[in-house]
Amino acid sequence: PRGAAGGPGAMAQAAALLTKEPAPQGVPASHLPAKVYEVPLNTGPDSSSGLATAGFRTAKYLLPEWHQNNSDLYCKASVHCQQAEGGRAEAKELAQHAAAAAQRAQQHSVATLGRRLQDIHFWKTELQKEIEDLDAETGLLAAQQLRLERALDATEVPYAIATDNLQCRERRQAPDLVSDEVERELLKEAELIRNIQELLKRTLMQAVNQMRLNRDHKEICEMDWSDKVETYNIDDQCGRYSNQSTNIQFHPGSVKFEESASTPETWAKFSHDNIYRAEREKLASINLRALIDNILHDVSEDLRMQCAAVNEAFAKHCEELDDAKHKLEYHLKKILKEIGDQEANIAALKQAIKDKEAPMKVAQTRLSDRSFRPNVELCRDEAQFRLISETEELMESIESLKKKLLESEQFLRNLEDTRMNLEKEIAVKTNSIFIDRQKCMAHRTRYPVVLKLAGYQ
């Protein structure tokens, strides 16, 4: 049967811890040599060998036999007392050794449990620190994720502005409907915003995946930490047990190793690997946050620089349009003045032609009247030649005036056409200026600030 010390196993352990060979449990039995007694013969007159005493000697011992029996009992009792006394001494010594061995074993177990508690506390502390670091890092990465989402939302306004500017400039009239520097910068801005949106979306997905990995490894560390806490409480309770504890009892089946039990090396390696993987993900998260910072900074700077380039192109183009419009207005003013002068000139030419009608009538009337001179009086005299020359000169003068009138009228028509073209071109420039300045540039004042593009707002 097994005693309170834990059965044969405990006894074997106690025997292994003894410093000397234990005393034997008893004196081995041995046969004592038979003692030879000399029994005197019953002879003589007083002997009882006669027939008269035969009936009284049946089954009776002799006096020496009685003394011998008593002596044997005394010797046997003495031997048994000596054996019992030796056994008691050996049992006492064995009990003292067993108690000392049990106490030493228990103290050693308590010390081992204490060292084990220190190891568990160390890994529990490391796991707790890693859990807190991962939780804090996940929070920081969540803030970066929010910045990415805000920055992605903020790019919608610049993209809408750029596309609206391009659509508004499609309403320009010819010949101002040209592919100028402003359009190239606007197309460049729209392409830049699309590329930035794709980059932010990819980075946002990467941040979401990294946060998921952070949470997964945090959960693994939390499960390991929870096991460590439970184990620490168990081992701490085990270390508090004593021989006077009231909640101790026999568990014969507990003296064995579980097949699935880990070794101290695999146990430490398990927590070490968990912490290592968590540290690796934490470092990846830190690097990703730094990358997000750089991306958002570069994105906001690129957008603001491109916005400034587009605004500068708009301003330069508007100055060119203003200059062209002013020049057109200046030339229109000159054309209008020239049209007025030309109209006056035409009126003067018409009046000059009309003024030649009376001299022509006079000269032709004179010639007509002189053709009625009688007979020889119809003479080609000098007056006749002069009248003819006068008529021819008047005819040439009228023809010249009419030719000049036609030319002046053509000039006037050209001036009118130019005036119409100038007025149309001024209207086109006015429309272009209105689109670029009132529509596009006014709309671009809603462009987000750098803090909004960087995701801070």
Domains and CATH numbers, the chain: 107-242+264-316 (1.20.1260.80)
Residue numbers in the chain where pLDDT is lower than 70: 1-59
pLDDT tens figures, 264-293: 899 999 999 999 999 999 999 999 999 999
DSSP helix/strand/coil, 255: coil
Give the pLDDT of residue 178. Answer: 87
Distance CA 249, CA 243 (A): 11
Query: What count of residues does the chain have?
Result: 457
Distance CA 210, CA 130 (A): 16
The residues, ordered by sequence, that sit 6+ positions from 445 with a Cβ below 8 Å of its Cβ are: none
| C-alpha distances out from residue 411 to 10, 183, 313, 334, 343, Å | 135, 40, 40, 14, 10
Give the pLDDT of residue 13. Answer: 39
| C-alpha distances out from residue 324 to 170, 234, 434, Å | 20, 92, 14
**How far does the chain reach from its first CA to its final CA, in angstroms?**
80
Distance CA 293, CA 285 (A): 12
Distance CA 337, CA 23 (A): 147
> Around 258, how many Cα atoms within 13 Å sit in the side-chain half-sphere?
5
Distance CA 108, CA 311 (A): 83
Give the pLDDT of residue 322. Answer: 93
